[in-house]
Amino acid sequence: MSWLLVVEQLLNGLQLGVMLFLVAAGLTLVFGIMNLVNLAHGSLYMVGAYFAVAFRAWTGSFAAAVVLALLATLVVGMLVEVIALRTLYERDHLDQVLATFGLILFFNEAVAIVWGRAALFASVPPALGGFVELVPGLRYPVYRAVIILVGLAVALLLYVVVSHTRLGMLIRAGASNRTMVAALGVNIRALYTVVFGFGAALAGLGGLMAGPIYTVQPGMGEELLIEVLVVIVIGGIGSIRGALVGAIVVGMVDTLGRAYLKPTLATVISPTAADSAGPALASMLVYILMAAVLYFRPQGLFPAVRGR
């Protein structure tokens, strides 16, 4: 294996990582501030992907579809918060798991009713097609490179918003002591709705960018959701920094595991055994990582400091 291929795999790992981060950021914020376990966050990712496909067919423009899909996912997120989730903040995690499990069933089926059960085709926009030569000999798809850039830009933007704006200050304050923030006259309910809506839009952004790479179909949200849960648990629930680190780590481990575990195993055990053990081990790798992290750091790598 040449080092160029290794670099390409590393970039693919980074690309998966930022994708996971987009979804994980909203989830971890919602958990950190509202203390809500939202299993249906993956559904918002799916909804974003479907909206992008639908709006693109309707307007014919990728840029317009991105904007419209983001707005639509934002609205869907806020509606879900107001209708179903608002009442759950004070409930225990079990209730939240159950109710959001119900939402998953609803969203998957609703999407199947509107767009059908078959996978939809979402093509890479022509302007972002082709390859870019990063270093001599390494041609990387432009679209994936753009995803990496967008993801890193969003991470930076989130950092600025959370630590240097008034909204971010309220978010941090709400996370550490919501009663006190409410007592100071902040409309905490509206704040929650806004935060949830933006979390949803971030997941939608992940989904609409994922469309042309992965398949757009009902249930696409859960496959990603489980990995995202691994990400935020590794990073420490409620911490955006943890989500970023966790996402990159999981993206790398997953991508490199799938690429190199089988050939590496084949040098140790027989190739046929490696053929069946390799993929199994590769798909388990992130879960093993998570179990190991939790064994040594039961609160994740960057435990968020919480008050009641």
Partner 1 sequence: MTDRRRALVTLGALAALAAVPLVAGVVNQPFYLDLFRRIMIFAIAAVSLDIILGYGGMVSLGHAAYLGIGAYAVAIPALHGIHSAWVQWPLAMALSGLAALVIGAISLRTSGVYFIMITLAFAQMLYYIGISIEPWGGDDGMRLAGRSRLGGPLDLGDPHVFYYVVLALLAVLLLVGERVVAARFGTVIRAVKSNEPRLRAIGVAPFRYKLAAFVLAGAVCGLAGALLANQTEYLTPSYMHWTRSGDIIVMVILGGMGTLVGPVLGAAAFLLLENVLSAWTVHWQVILGPLLVLVVLFARGGLWSLLPGGDGRG
Binding site for partner 1 (CB under 8 A): 31, 37, 84, 87-88, 91, 93-95, 97-99, 101-110, 112-113, 222, 226, 229-230, 233, 237, 276, 279-280, 283-284, 287-288, 290-291, 294-295, 298-300
Rounded CA separation 277/269 (Å)? 10
Nearer to partner 1 by C-beta: 88 or 195?
Answer: 88
Nearer to partner 1 by C-beta: 25 or 36?
Answer: 36
Structure tokens given for 131:
């390859």
Q: Cβ of residue 183: shortest distance to partner 1, in angstroms?
A: 26
Q: Cβ of residue 112: shortest distance to partner 1, in angstroms?
A: 7
Nearer to partner 1 by C-beta: 60 or 298?
Answer: 298
Nearer to partner 1 by C-beta: 144 or 258?
Answer: 258
Nearer to partner 1 by C-beta: 70 or 234?
Answer: 234
For residue 115, the tally of other CB atoms under 10 A from its CB is: 16
Nearer to partner 1 by C-beta: 197 or 236?
Answer: 236
Please provide the DSSP assignment of the chain as one string: --HHHHHHHHHHHHHHHHHHHHHHHHHHHHHHHH----TTHHHHHHHHHHHHHHHHHHHS-HHHHHHHHHHHHHHHHHHHIIIIIGGGTTS-HHHHHHHHHHHHHHHHHHHHHHH-SSPBP-PPPGGG-SEEEEETTEEEEHHHHHHHHHHHHHHHHHHHHHHHSHHHHHHHHHHH-HHHHHHTT--HHHHHHHHHHHHHHHHHHHHHHHTTTS-B-TTHHHHHHHHHHHHHHHH-TT-HHHHHHHHHHHHHHHHHHHHHHHHHHHHHS-HHHHHHHHHHHHHHHHHHHHHHHHHH-TT-SSPPP---
Q: Cβ of residue 157: shortest distance to partner 1, in angstroms?
A: 27
Q: Cβ of residue 244: shortest distance to partner 1, in angstroms?
A: 18
Nearer to partner 1 by C-beta: 82 or 222?
Answer: 222
Q: Cβ of residue 239: shortest distance to partner 1, in angstroms?
A: 13
